[in-house]
Amino acid sequence: MDACVKLKEEIRACRECRERFGHEPNPVLRGKPHAPIMHISQAPSIHVHRTGLPFNDKSGHTLRKEWYGISDETFYDENKFYITTAGKCYPGKNPSGGDKKPPKICADLWLGKELAAVENELYLIVGKAASEHFFPGVPLKELIMKDWTIRGKEAFVLPHPSPLNVKMFKDHPAFFDDRLPLIRKRIHDILGL
Ligand code: SF4
């Protein structure tokens, strides 16, 4: 069995956080090891937890249609995107509202193995929890405005497209005016769109 398929099976079988969450974990990830774009966000929403399909929610619609300018078919093509997260399971709700942060143990257990298994050209890092894993201590507002490299490969950092992030969007119009067109062009160039 191919090493990446085996790794994905191991991750999907992981129940490390069952007690921490108080619900049955459902690790969500997809993609082939030769996918040119590795897409790393923070953690599945409750809707993604229930359906098992990443970004199968309002945030995903914004990300694909408005930000990347690609079809659902392209985003979910496992030969094009390897889609994973810093925390692969829905972590539950905070009593004060919003979802809990993904447990750090998940990235410690799995993300390094995925990074080693995928032969991508480009990383798209989406949201604070994911960007903190790669760039600890660097504010998101700084990360989203510059080009980066991870493991010697090109990387872009984006804010999370959640509708709850509306203040961040209002406060950083330059991301939409200057950075997003560039990110979209790189995605389209790499995928030959
Ligand atoms: S969040 Fe990660 S470590 Fe925790 S159960 Fe899911 S896959 Fe395992």
**pLDDT tens for residues 135-157?**
999 999 999 999 999 999 999 99
Give percent of the chain above pLDDT 70.
99
pLDDT confidence band for 1 (50 / 70 / 90):
low
Residue 43 · residue 87 · CB < 8 Å: yes
Residue (of 90, 50, 56) closest to 75 by Cα position: 56
Residue 170 · residue 159 · CB < 8 Å: no
Per-domain residue ranges for the chain?
3-191
Alpha carbons 172 and 55: distance in angstroms, whole number: 23
- Ligand 1 centroid, distance to 188 Cα (angstroms): 32
pLDDT confidence band for 116 (50 / 70 / 90):
very high
pLDDT at 98: 85
Alpha carbons 54 and 76: distance in angstroms, whole number: 9
Hey, whose CA ends up nearest to atom 4 of ligand 1?
A: 17
Host H or E run for residue 186: helix 180-191
How high does pLDDT run on average in the chain? Answer: 95
- DSSP, collapsed to helix, strand or coil, labels residue 85 as strand
Counting atoms of ligand 1 from 1, which one is nearest the CA of 103?
Answer: 1
pLDDT at residue 127 is higher than 90: yes
Pocket test for ligand 1, best of 7, 8, 14, 90 (most atoms within 8 A of CB): 14
**CATH class as words, domain 3-191:** alpha beta
Q: Are strands 148-150 and 37-41 parallel, antiparallel or unpaired?
A: unpaired
Pick the residue with more confidence: 65 or 167? 65
Tokens for 65, please give them: 């249609």
- Ligand 1 centroid, distance to 112 Cα (angstroms): 14
Q: What is the pTM (predicted TM-score) of this model?
A: 0.96
Give percent of the chain above pLDDT 90.
89
Alpha carbons 132 and 126: distance in angstroms, whole number: 10
Alpha carbons 173 and 178: distance in angstroms, whole number: 8
